[in-house]
């Protein structure tokens, strides 16, 4: 039986490799940030983990980026100890703070060290609202794509997929850790969504995302404000 499809085709740009994807993403990020600051005086961006976004952040140090008006939020985070290499924040802080004028207080970390994770999720939702308004509308959300079709920490079969009354939630254990994650309502209110997809192991999932396959978690993110930057390996099955 054919899978249901979203009504809007998603734009995709294909590059030779992950390094080229990251450079293009940095240019896109900087352009969106300048527009946001010109319009509203600040730029609010939510970043996921992964290798390609760290390449993007590294490349951003060379771009004309309004760092003093930028606020970095997290899309998701593993509930693991501070400083753990599996924490997205460990990498998120490293490059911007070392290579840009960004100040530590401009990086708004998910409070996964809190023993009461549900309260921590509510706390982070309030933090997001402080910078992105009520209801929060983030200027740019960066998303990755898992080979199983997950994005953020919205993974197949997790009850958090059906959360519609909160912008931040706690998942069940996935690959050894629970996660804090932004939910569909806030992702789908974003002004712009940038998917970075690299590697041949993502090819099938990317084809399903492009087809608007609602049976994978990534397919439930609205496509009309989104663009995909992919490398050739990932895009092989998407063309």
* 173-217: pLDDT as tens digits: 998 899 999 999 999 999 999 999 999 999 999 999 999 999 999
By the 8 A CB rule, do 72 and 108 touch? yes
pLDDT tens-digit series, residues 54-92: 889 889 888 889 999 999 999 999 999 887 888 888 777
The token duo for 139 is: 């200027």
Pairing label, strands 168-170, 179-182: antiparallel
**Omega cis (within 30) before 135:** yes
Determine which helix (DSSP H) or strand (DSSP E) holds 196, and give its type and residue range.
strand 192-197
The CA dihedral of 39, 186, 56, 104, to the nearest 10 degrees, is: 80
Which tops the pLDDT comparison, 60 or 43?
43
Which pLDDT does position 6 carry in this prediction?
A: 42
Q: Is the pLDDT of residue 41 over 90?
A: yes
The token duo for 182 is: 């932004």
The token duo for 206 is: 């990317």
**Is the backbone of residue 97 left (phi > 0), alpha (psi -120 to 50) or beta?**
alpha
Question: What is the dotted CATH code of the domain comprising 11-235?
Answer: 3.40.50.1360
Q: What is the mean pLDDT of the chain?
A: 91
């Amino acid at each position: 039986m054919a899978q249901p499809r979203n009504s809007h085709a998603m734009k995709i740009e294909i590059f030779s490799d992950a390094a080229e994807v990251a450079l293009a993403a940095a240019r896109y990020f900087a352009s969106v940030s300048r527009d946001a600051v010109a319009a509203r005086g600040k730029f609010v961006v939510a970043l996921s983990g992964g290798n390609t976004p760290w390449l993007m952040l590294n490349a951003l140090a060379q771009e004309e980026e309004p760092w003093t008006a930028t606020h970095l939020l997290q899309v998701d985070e593993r509930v693991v100890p501070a400083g753990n290499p599996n924490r997205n924040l460990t990498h998120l802080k490293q490059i911007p703070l070392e290579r840009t004028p960004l100040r530590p207080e401009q990086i708004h970390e998910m409070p996964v060290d809190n023993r009461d994770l549900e309260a921590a999720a509510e706390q982070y939702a309030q933090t997001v609202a402080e910078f992105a308004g009520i209801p929060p509308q983030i200027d740019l959300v960066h998303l990755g794509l898992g080979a199983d079709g997950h994005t953020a920490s919205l993974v197949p079969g997790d009850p958090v997929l059906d959360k519609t009354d909160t912008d931040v939630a706690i998942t069940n254990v996935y690959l050894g850790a629970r996660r804090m994650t932004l939910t569909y309502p806030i992702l789908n209110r974003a002004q712009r969504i940038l998917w970075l997809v690299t590697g041949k192991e993502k090819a099938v999932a990317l084809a399903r995302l492009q087809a608007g396959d609602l049976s994978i978690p990534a397919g439930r993110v609205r496509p009309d404000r989104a663009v995909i930057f992919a490398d050739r390996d990932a895009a092989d099955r998407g063309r």
